[in-house]
Structure 1
């Protein structure tokens, strides 16, 4: 099985890179994701000449938007994946119509970026600490690369808040647990305020619901079919019950009663 959380941990070795790109592209278009992202930009307190780093920048969707906020400054995207670095470079060129020397994308491990300290006025990371081995070290590295007085912002889901609406609550809980347990750090959202607060003075903390009302969207973002297949393979639920559960979701979707819900925490702190 090609499980999303597994793929995001090893992007360049992912069995189906297109699946990861499809997931990221859909999330980019959904209003609830756009809402918390705007909050994360605002929490950076950027000025027109600020230098900002976007860690684990993925396909690079945030890079041109950040550049709009710092017209006289610079934006640097970092990602461990060579595939994502190239994709982010292409996205920036496509949006801007040409290469912009003030927007760069570099390959780098968030645990040790290899750049000078105090190089940036602000740094952000979005939905990536959930996948990495040592989030505390990553936050420390973000604090290292911003100047004194600079801002670090992280946005992460709290997978304990993940709910799939269903008339079959017992099976739903198994599916929610199976998907949640695919992440290295499933509770990272609720842990952010302590992780960031261990290095910086907290300046912002907000929680944003992400509500999906279409089964097709939840299939892409929450990997529902793969999750149910994993539950059956691990003998958490019988195959027949998995089929009954999915049929219930399809019926709810047909009658506009389907929903899946997740909370995302946005936390920012200022370097002392």
Structure 2
């Protein structure tokens, strides 16, 4: 079932996050999130689920030398990497912590962001209540999350596409529909939601799509979970590597105000 066109080994998590951030798609939506956050000099800004610190420098530039940027992540290796990468930036601190129980006092920050984090947490509603707690009145939260229910991969056999995408939404991602659920969940946590911005990524190259979507790795897991047979998976991947390719998925940038 393996193909030389696709990556079969699971990439290192930090390397994967760096890879996505370096793509045109990654740079574009991250810039839009930064614009929507509207950071002013001197403000305190949180990067919740900061990973290896990919976005901390851009937040620090926006907050200027008079501001404060705090990154929080639950993964020790990511926190260590983020601290190393921002060691020369005195306005940036990185803390080990859980989004469900943030290690921050009430009304700490003027702004916060989450970037493809809430799709993985145990309880997004609880995390949003915590974020609301640590934001000052009038503070702004900008979230970027995919809705994997929007994922489409063109294939002559629609049944194979449905089986693959059903596995993604049923099992591969904990909160697979979080992108479109965020406005409702944010409102339930006490936020106003002035805007929702859909960003649809369209892939015409199978290799570029695989670098982000992990097409073969996900297909292998779908076989193990019983969503596809080995023969069906082989037909699925064979067409993706040889036929004209198109895949798309929508990420929602949701702006919320406390």
Taking structure 2 as the reference length, the TM-score comes to: 0.90
> How far did residue 20 of structure 1 move?
1.8
1:237 maps to 228
* 1:152 counterpart = 2:145: no
1:132-158 residue CA offsets vs partner (Å, 9 max, x unmatched): 111011111111111111111211111
Residue 90 (str. 1) matches residue 61 (str. 2): no
- SS in structure 2 at match of 1:111: coil
Matched, 1:116 2:109: no
Q: State which drifts further: 18-27 or 103-112.
A: 18-27
Q: Determine if contact 1:119/1:145 at 8 Å carries over to the other structure.
A: yes
Per-residue Cα deviation, 1:186-232 (whole angstroms, up to 9, x for no partner): 11000111111221112221110122233223323222212222232
Q: Match for 1:171 among 160, 185, 191?
A: 160
Cα distance in structure 2, aligned partners of 1:130 and 1:268 = 16
2:178 aligned with 1:191: no
Contact 2:48 2:72 in 1 (8 A): yes
Shift of 1:102: 0.6
TM-score computed with the length of structure 1 as normaliser: 0.86
Aligned to 2:245: 258
Q: Give the total of aligned pairs.
A: 247
Work out whether residues 55 and 78 of structure 1, in 8 Å CA contact, stay in contact via their aligned partners in 2.
Answer: yes
Task: List aligned pairs for 1:48-127, cutoff 5 A.
Answer: 48-71=41-64, 72-93=66-87, 99-127=88-116
Name the CA distance, whole Å, in 2 between partners of 1:38 and 1:105.
21
Runs ≥4 residues deviating over 3 A: none
| Larger relative helix fraction | 1
Bigger shift: 190-199 or 78-87? 190-199
- How has the CA–CA distance of structure 1 residues 206 and 245 changed in structure 2, closer, same or farther, with 3 Å as cutoff? same
Query: Unaligned regions of 5+ residues in structure 1, if any?
Result: 1-15, 94-98
